[in-house]
Chain A
Amino acid sequence: MKQPESFSGSTRPLGLVVIGASSGGLEAIIRLLKHLPTQFDVPTAVVLHQRANRASGIPEMLAKYTHLKVQEPEDKEIITKGHLYVVPPNYHLLIDSGELLSLSLDAPLNYCRPAIDMTFLSAAEVFRQRLAGCVLTGANDDGARGCVAIKRHGGVVLVQDPQQAAVDIMPRAAIAATMVDEVLTVEVMARKLTTLAVGADP
């Protein structure tokens, strides 16, 4: 078995960031985006649990706070630098081989569609050490299994400090599931992603 590369010794540039969030998530994501510098261009996918069945308005809302090009991905789109992909309501987002975005209507996982675990698991398999998974505020444990997979494949897991999170259940579940790399506020998380983006050792 391959050993996961240790986080501190890493010099890989990131290929993909996946941000998972649930209750209170929109606000936390906005804060994170606001703190990403304009040179940050790593493709980023946002998996946010939503109740709405239809057009959520979330991409438009996020676009106000980021230089990244915000869009709901189409099926089999090539993952591209400088883009922020917001998973459309009622679909799961999978990361496919060839670094493609793939949508699925598979049954809800952890009662969620989109489910963070679906994206984390598939992204870990394709991007391995070049993946950063971020777990923000939320009221269930979606994402925790995905974090285990990310660590097994040598990727990075960053978790919002439960004490800072609007709802701490999701961050705590991630922390309990595996050896996450760091627990931090979303502001510091943004800085961390920026250093990881270029493969620099912070």
Chain B
Amino acid sequence: MSKPESEQNMDEFEVEVECLMDALFLRWGYDFRGYSRASLRRRVDRYLADNHYQRVADLQHELIRDKKRCIHFVRGLTVNVTEMFRDPEFYRVIREQVVPELKSHPFLKIWHAGCSTGEEAYSMSILLQEEGLGERAVIYATDVNSQVLDQASKGVYPERMLAMARDNYRISGGRGSLDDYLSVGYERFLIDPILKKNIVFTQHDLVTDQVFGEMQMVICRNVLIYFRRELQTKVLTLFHDSLDLGGFLALGIKESLRNLPKQFRYKAVDEATRVFQRVD
């Protein structure tokens, strides 16, 4: 058994980071208190160095008084790395094992929680088009960070990301050529606006905001890794309450349902790519 947090003998920096997170919540309502300590420490450490602060106390003093600076800081706390068709085997499983079931629904609601700059949602949109579900699906793509959402709705990405995207797409079982869905120019590529038609990008904080009702699929990949176990439990409950019976839940390939409340039942559709189906 691990001791209650308060009895663990924290070092100075850890205490400072905890206090800083409390302060941000009290002053501005940003709630990072349930985030992984190790990750927060790295991010705060980086922010101090990049912005030439000597001490956390100096930073805290400023963040409590300067909302703009606080927004800047908070943006730096989230990790937004993503790519198109990341983990192509995951998309293959969706294509081969989930799509056949989704076809029985006249109307589909899919939630990408923590969509970052949008690549994941566009990948899903392409897949659904190819599987003939494009017309009946709505994708809600949400993130806490409004800056990445702005980028997501533009759908413009650096061209150097394209080679990997093409590879991933091919391995994922793509039926055509990725280039059919984008145009390239000025060292960037632009997602075909047609794909945006059924995606709604909107801000949503998994820590403080409410359920998204009656989804047939919730996809939240590589977001829970930044949360402590208690917060994972809370967010998995939120997903459960947002999912239709028989709906699908997809996590990142190194994430698990270990922190799921015991009474919830899921069966694995594919263990390796962490695709589950709600069965109660």
Contact = CB atoms under 8 A, between A and B. Distances in A.
Same complex origin of A and B:
yes
A94 B39 contact: yes
B255 A122 contact: no
Interface stretch (A103-111, A160-168, A180-188): A103-111
Interface stretch (A25-33, A69-77, A134-142, A170-178): A69-77
Nearest to A113: B81
Contact of B42 (A76, A97, A121): A121
Interface in A50-106: 53, 72-77, 88, 91, 94-100, 102-106
Given A72-B254, A125-B11, A102 B36 contact: yes
Interface string A133-152: 00000000000000000000
A106 B254 contact: no
Contacts of A131: none
Contacts of B37: 96-97
A107 B164 CA distance: 16
Interface in B214-229: 222, 224-226, 228-229
Interface residues of B, number: 29
A184 B11 CA distance: 32
Q: How large is the interface on A (under 10, 10 to 19, 20 to 34, 35 or more residues)?
A: 20 to 34
B71 interface: no
B8 A97 contact: yes
A198 interface: no
A97 B3 CA distance: 11
Contacts, number: 75
Contacts of B60: none
A123 to B, nearest CB: 9
A107 B225 CA distance: 15
A159 interface: no
B14 interface: yes
- Indicate the member of B79, B232, B254, B258 with the most A CB atoms within 10 Å: B254
A118 interface: yes
A59 to B, nearest CB: 13
A74 B255 contact: yes
A118 B258 CA distance: 25
B258 A105 contact: no
Rank and list the top 10 A-B pairs by shortest CB-CB distance, nearest first.
A94-B38, A96-B38, A122-B38, A98-B2, A75-B225, A97-B37, A105-B81, A103-B225, A74-B256, A102-B36
Given A76-B228, A96-B228, 4 more contacts: A75-B224, A100-B229, A105-B222, A105-B225
Interface of B: 2, 5, 8, 10-11, 13-14, 36-39, 41-42, 79, 81, 164, 222, 224-226, 228-229, 232, 252, 254-256, 258-259
